[in-house]
Chain A
Amino acid sequence: MSKIKKVVSLVTSLAMAGAVTAGLTGCGDSKGEDTLLWYVFGDKPADLDTVLAKANEIIEPEIGMKLDMQYIDSASYTSKMKNIMAAHEKYDLAFTGFVNPYQEAVALGGLYDITDLVKETGLDKEMPDFYLDSASVDGRIYGIPNVQVVSNPVSICMDKSLAEEIGVDMKAIEDAAQNAKNFEDVKAYSVLLDDLFAKVHAARPDLYVMNPTYDLLIDPFYEQVVSETYIRKDGSSDEIVIDMETEEGKFSAEKLNEWFNKGYIRNDISSTGTAVASNEEWRKIAVRSTTWKPGQDAYDVERYGEEQVYAKLCKPYVGRTSALATMTSVGADSKHPKEAVELLKLMNTNKELFNIICWGIEGTHYTVADNGHIAEVENSGYNGIGQNAWRFGNQFNALLLENQEDDTWEKTEQMNNDAIKSKMLGFVPNTDVITNELANITNVADEYKAKREFGTIEVSKWDKEYADKLDKAGIHKVRDELQKQYDEFLNK
């Protein structure tokens, strides 16, 4: 064994030496010094280089640097960006949000503090305040939300023909939900849902009645804070509450179980993990819980194959993290943060540039109709980029496709601006002191996911056990800590 020890110590010291030299040599930039590197997620379009050359005709005179865009497929975007940040590879801009989560990247020290640059370049003037409020972490900004719809209300929709056939008053449901002030109102609203589901079930036994993607009795009224903690959307209370400790939470679990037992929810949902994973599956659901935004109607006709009727279950609402779903950040090791922010400003203000990045070159990649709407040229080598324009900057600058209404963006902007803004905007809880508790709570919540979210098992059989486990995992400590931090935030 002593030989082994010797080998071990030798190897360790060599490895240390190797790693230290490696750390010292560092790495060089492959692209030139005058190029900004921007990572976005998605599959790389074939014609990217041509389009970038065109875009650089605008970018270079403005900021004195060229742009190089790197697409990373969405399947690996998060993990690749994390490695890039961890290895301190140089890059200037990157998509952050629902992939490569912003708050995580900030906490791990992967992003550049652009608070001053944003003011210097005047980028902050280019969007309503609540976007940057959402993005601020302890008063500092590490990324710019890509301006797009952030206030979609939780909704249900169903085929118009079916609604007419069984005589459903969606407006009544909408009003009941939107005007619900207290638990009694929620119960009254749930009766309407019961009635709707029962009718649908009787008329179309071949369909699943509903999908529990959104919790119809919680999500319209509560905003999630962290993990299993929630706060009221209507601002009537600043108290942070725990899901199953609220009247609505418990009631919702019971209702879900009732609906599950009546066969409204697909019975293999615990093994599929979700009610819907494809367009085909969407069509097998009668009352679809989803969100709504201007332009949704036209889109849904295509998706579900028929005109829809909607009930918006709450007023448009901008939550604490709504704007954080799609952002662009500057890399912590960027050598050109100023130019990077200038480019971001350009993407928010220069419509021509933005549309080159989104749709490519007119004539080659898209054609413009008389009314100013565009059509993509099929197989042009630059397809499917502009539909997800929220990856690049201000989506409201994007040219409209043929089937979109003229005022889609105006309406969306209007909805965002008029929406109720969460009192929590700008509140970023410091989770350092409750890390272990949050990890444990996530594990417990996952364990009860099928029971709580899909209603697969009678509530009285598990609710006490669940409450016990959550308590042991530290849910009350988490709640109290969050409340303390939130109170401090409100007092500021």
Chain B
Amino acid sequence: MKKRKRITVRDMQLYSLCIIPMILVFIFNYMPMVGLIIAFKNYKFNLGMFRSQWVGFSNFEFFIKSDVFFQLVRNTLLNNFAFIVFGVMSSVIVAVLLFELTNRNATKIFQTILITPHFLSWVVVAYIVNAILNVNYGYLNQLLGLFGVDAVDWYAKPNAWPPILTLTFIWKNVGMDSVVYYAALMGIDTALFEAAEVDGANKLKRTLHIVIPSLVPLITILTILKIGNIFRADFGLFYTVTQDGASGNLYSTTNVIDTYIFRSFKENASGNSYGLTAAVGLLQSVVGMILVIATNAASKKVDKELGLF
């Protein structure tokens, strides 16, 4: 297929299909990117993007030289890493198990229930998490009480929060994420299963050799996409659900890049908040891109067909 060939009428037809979507992306995504120059400026409203003063890389320096830089990177990376690994694992497992269910009505009910948390905004989730973890009346503490364990003030235990946040994340997303995998499984050629049955393969073998491999391309792509954003933290989860890191007590594990930037300008937004925010955003993008290119290359090494581009 790698032969050089001329562009045919068919190719032109294919290109023409791309035009409108590409224009939309251009207008709404590429045109605003001119604003990336704000990252190198001391941005003032009255001077605008172009006439504001250049400040070189000093906006980046602010962030990189910060005392908590390593803490932020560590927290952002580790939490997101856990979200990706456990998120993908749980949604694949749920999809595969749903696929094994033969009663379609049951599937419908279960799937509908699984996606309900998706409709709740993080603020509402924060209320619910508090209802479970609150030191006085939280459900978890009531449960612990039954076993004679004293109530724990979870909002003062930083080490408990990476698992709590991961669980919250999975709870909110597993239903929706598994929908993709489930739909993909629906597309598997049933002839393959029949052949497997003829060969006497049991359920487990069938799952391991047909079902999971058929999901690998999708898993790879979705994971690569997620890795690109591994340096971006979900502000709502890390700020709202932790109740602003429970007023500071949880920062050692829940302070992430996005919450740090937010707090930096809470009281002094005139201090070039726009420039610094843009700089950190740009940095997150660049690192993300490097990671994506690396994972993309790695997955292509494993299998040529895998990979995003």
Contacts and interface: CB of A to CB of B under 8 A. Distances in A.
A19 B48 CA distance: 13
Contacts of A268: 134-136, 153, 155
Nearest to B268: A438
A436 B246 contact: no
A15 B34 contact: yes
A270 B249 contact: yes
Given A332-B45, A446-B263, A107 B31 contact: no
Contact of A442 (B30, B47, B267): B267
B294 to A, nearest CB: 14
Q: Give the size range of B's interface with the partner.
A: 35 or more
A270 B45 contact: no
A104 B48 CA distance: 16
Interface in B156-201: 156
Contact of B31 (A19, A86, A227): A19
Contacts of A473: 67
A135 to B, nearest CB: 16
A448 interface: yes
B260 A443 contact: yes
A450 B247 contact: yes
A267 interface: yes
Contacts of B50: 23
B46 to A, nearest CB: 3
**Majority secondary structure, A binding face:** helix
Interface residues of A, number: 51
A11 B134 contact: no
Interface in A448-483: 448-451, 453-454, 456, 469, 472-473
Interface in A321-366: 332
A477 to B, nearest CB: 14
A386 interface: no
Contacts, number: 139
A76 interface: no
B34 A16 contact: yes
A440 B255 CA distance: 13
Contacts of B265: 439
Contacts of B246: 270-271, 450
A272 B243 contact: yes
A110 B273 CA distance: 14
B156 A109 contact: no
A38 to B, nearest CB: 19
Given A442-B264, A450-B249, A435 B271 contact: yes
Interface in B137-151: none
A431 B45 CA distance: 17
A394 to B, nearest CB: 28
9 contacts: A88-B45, A108-B270, A270-B247, A270-B248, A431-B270, A443-B68, A443-B264, A447-B251, A472-B67
